[in-house]
């Protein structure tokens, strides 16, 4: 696949521009004191991956460096080339799930300098505009409501919400630029210089040639929570919610059930003891309090022994909000 030298929008280019917009890191004296840079590239990458996976179990310094330099397409630690991950993220974005936007808003709040938001949007818009490999009708999910707009429509847009815009660009990269990260190498060379064993230093002019006037605002994250109730619930999420509900209920009633079973077991044992006593010589014994004994109607003084019927009990134990109703305790199984 032949790609123009530059510009080219890919994950490595996107990540390099994000680095330029991060909050200032810790100073040298903080490093000497043992403090780590909370906005260093590996941490930034870990939290960026969190925005599209929901997991914090990704990230590695070496893989981050190689991906940022467009040397690899991804790895198990930076899963930009994982088709299962990109497919799941694509589905979440297109179904207007609020979770990706929530996570992107967290990422922005953790790492990005709000003084740089206009520059970052302009830089990305300029690359998208001049990337001839992106057709005019290509869609980007950069709207807060999750609706897509084309590259042509984006050119005429003047107002952008910061977090939804970044989410839409990330979605495009994961879905449309998977396995194409290496094609951004020349764009990186145009954006900055790199010396051996040193991180690339930004020396470019990204965004300066963009002529369209734009306004970049922060999206109000409280609106996301309000939208949750209006969005159609994902069937899989509903199943998971039901499962959690059942699990929680079982956990709360487990101790109650165990206690009830112990009581029922004791009653069964007492009944067996009563039955065993019937085989012994008759003795004057008090009637068991745990079982109701009913004599068959026999004429007084009849020669045949009376037949006893034991009416099976129903054991009901109720503690708290979850009653446990056990019928026929002799058949109780766990």
Per DSSP, 16 falls in state: H
- Residues 55 and 122 both lie in one domain: yes
**What pLDDT is stored for residue 234 in this prediction?**
44
Q: Is 5 part of any domain?
A: no
**Cα torsion angle, 12, 13, 14, 15, sign:** positive
Residues 93 and 214 placed together within one structural domain of the fold: yes
User: Backbone phi, then psi, for 289, in 5-degree steps?
Assistant: -80, -10
Q: Which two tokens stand for residue 157?
A: 């847009």
Question: Which of 214, 231, 248 is the endpoint of a domain?
Answer: 231
Q: Are 267 and 168 members of one domain?
A: no
Q: Could you write out the DSSP letters of every residue in 25-86? A: ---HHHHHTT---TTSHHHHHHHHHHHHHS-S----HHHHHHHHTTS-S--SSS-TT-HHHH
Residue ranges of the alpha helices (H) in 95-234? 98-111, 117-130, 151-155, 162-176, 185-191, 222-228
- What is the reported pLDDT for 227? 56
Does residue 146 sit within a domain? yes
pLDDT of residue 37: 80
Residues 261 and 219 in one domain: no
DSSP, residue by residue, 168-194 = HHHHHHHHHSTT-GGGGHHHHHHHEE-
For residues 15 and 102, membership in a common domain is answered with yes
Whether 219 and 144 have beta carbons less than 8 Å apart is answered as yes
Q: Looking at the structure, do residues 226 and 195 belong to the same domain, yes or no?
A: yes
User: 97 and 35 in one domain?
Assistant: yes
Q: Are residues 204 and 303 in the same domain?
A: no
Q: Which 3 state secondary structure label does DSSP give 277?
A: helix
* CB-CB contact of 23 with 129 (8 Å): no
Q: Would you state the pLDDT for residue 84?
A: 98
**Is residue 1 in some structural domain?**
no
- Look up residue 146 and give its two tokens: 């999750």
Are 70 and 181 within 8 A, CB to CB?
A: yes
Q: Residues 197, 51: one domain?
A: yes
Those residues whose C-beta lies under 8 Å from the C-beta of residue 120, and which sit 6 or more positions away, are 17, 18, 20, 21, 112, 166
Give the tens place of pLDDT for each residue, 241-287.
454 445 455 554 444 444 555 555 555 665 666 566 555 555 444 44
Query: What is the span of the domain harbouring residue 172?
Result: 11-231
Q: How many CB atoms lie within 10 A of CB 114?
A: 13
Q: What is the pLDDT of residue 300?
A: 45
* Residue 49: alpha-carbon gap to chain centroid: 12
- Domain count within the chain: 2
Q: Which of 179, 204, 231 is a domain's end point?
A: 231
Q: Characterize the bridge pairing of strands 215-217 and 159-161.
A: parallel
In-domain check, residue 127: yes
**Domain assignment of residue 3, yes or no:** no
> Whole-angstrom Cα distance, residue 52 to residue 74?
14
Q: How far apart are the two ends of the chain, measured CA to CA in Å?
A: 62
Q: What is the pTM of this model?
A: 0.66
- Predicted local distance difference test score (pLDDT) of residue 212: 86
Asked if residue 6 is part of any domain, the answer here is no
Do 286 and 217 belong to one domain?
no
User: Is position 308 within any domain?
Assistant: yes
Task: Determine, yes or no, domain membership for 36.
Answer: yes
Quick one: 70 and 140 in the same domain? yes
Q: Are residues 258 and 151 in the same domain?
A: no
**What's the average pLDDT block by block, 10 residues per block, for the chain (334 residues)?**
71 98 72 67 97 96 97 98 98 97 98 97 97 97 95 96 98 98 96 93 93 93 61 42 49 48 59 59 46 44 48 50 52 50
Instruction: Select from 187, 211, 231 the last residue of a domain.
Output: 231
């Amino acid at each position: 696949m032949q790609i123009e030298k530059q510009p080219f929008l890919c994950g490595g280019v996107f990540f390099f521009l994000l680095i330029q917009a991060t909050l200032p890191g810790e100073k040298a004296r903080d490093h000497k004191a043992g403090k780590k840079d909370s906005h260093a590239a590996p941490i930034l990458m870990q939290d960026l991956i969190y925005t599209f996976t929901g997991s914090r179990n990704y990230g590695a310094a070496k893989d981050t460096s190689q991906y940022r330099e467009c040397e690899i397409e991804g790895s198990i630690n930076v899963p930009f080339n994982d088709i299962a991950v990109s497919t799941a993220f694509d589905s979440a974005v297109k179904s207007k799930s609020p979770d990706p936007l929530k996570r992107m808003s967290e990422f922005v709040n953790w790492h990005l300098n709000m003084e740089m938001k206009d520059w970052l949007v302009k830089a990305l818009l300029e690359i998208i505009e001049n990337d001839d490999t992106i057709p005019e009708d290509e869609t980007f999910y950069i709207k807060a409501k999750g609706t897509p707009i084309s590259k042509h429509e984006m050119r005429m847009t003047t107002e952008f919400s910061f977090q939804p815009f970044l989410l839409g660009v990330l979605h495009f990269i994961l879905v449309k630029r998977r396995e194409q990260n290496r094609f951004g190498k020349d764009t990186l060379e145009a954006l900055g210089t790199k010396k051996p064993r040193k991180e690339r230093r930004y020396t470019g002019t990204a965004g300066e040639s963009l002529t369209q006037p734009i306004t970049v605002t922060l999206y109000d994250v409280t609106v996301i929570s309000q939208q949750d109730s209006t969005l159609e619930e994902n069937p899989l999420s509903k199943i998971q919610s039901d499962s959690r509900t059942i699990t929680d209920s079982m956990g709360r009633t487990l101790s109650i059930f165990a206690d009830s079973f112990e009581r029922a077991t004791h009653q069964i044992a007492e009944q067996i003891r009563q039955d065993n006593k019937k085989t012994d010589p008759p003795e004057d014994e008090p009637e068991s309090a745990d079982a109701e004994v009913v004599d068959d109607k026999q004429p007084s003084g009849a020669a045949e022994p009376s037949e006893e019927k034991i009416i099976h009990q129903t054991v009901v134990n109720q503690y708290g909000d979850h009653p446990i109703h056990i019928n026929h305790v002799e058949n109780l199984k766990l």
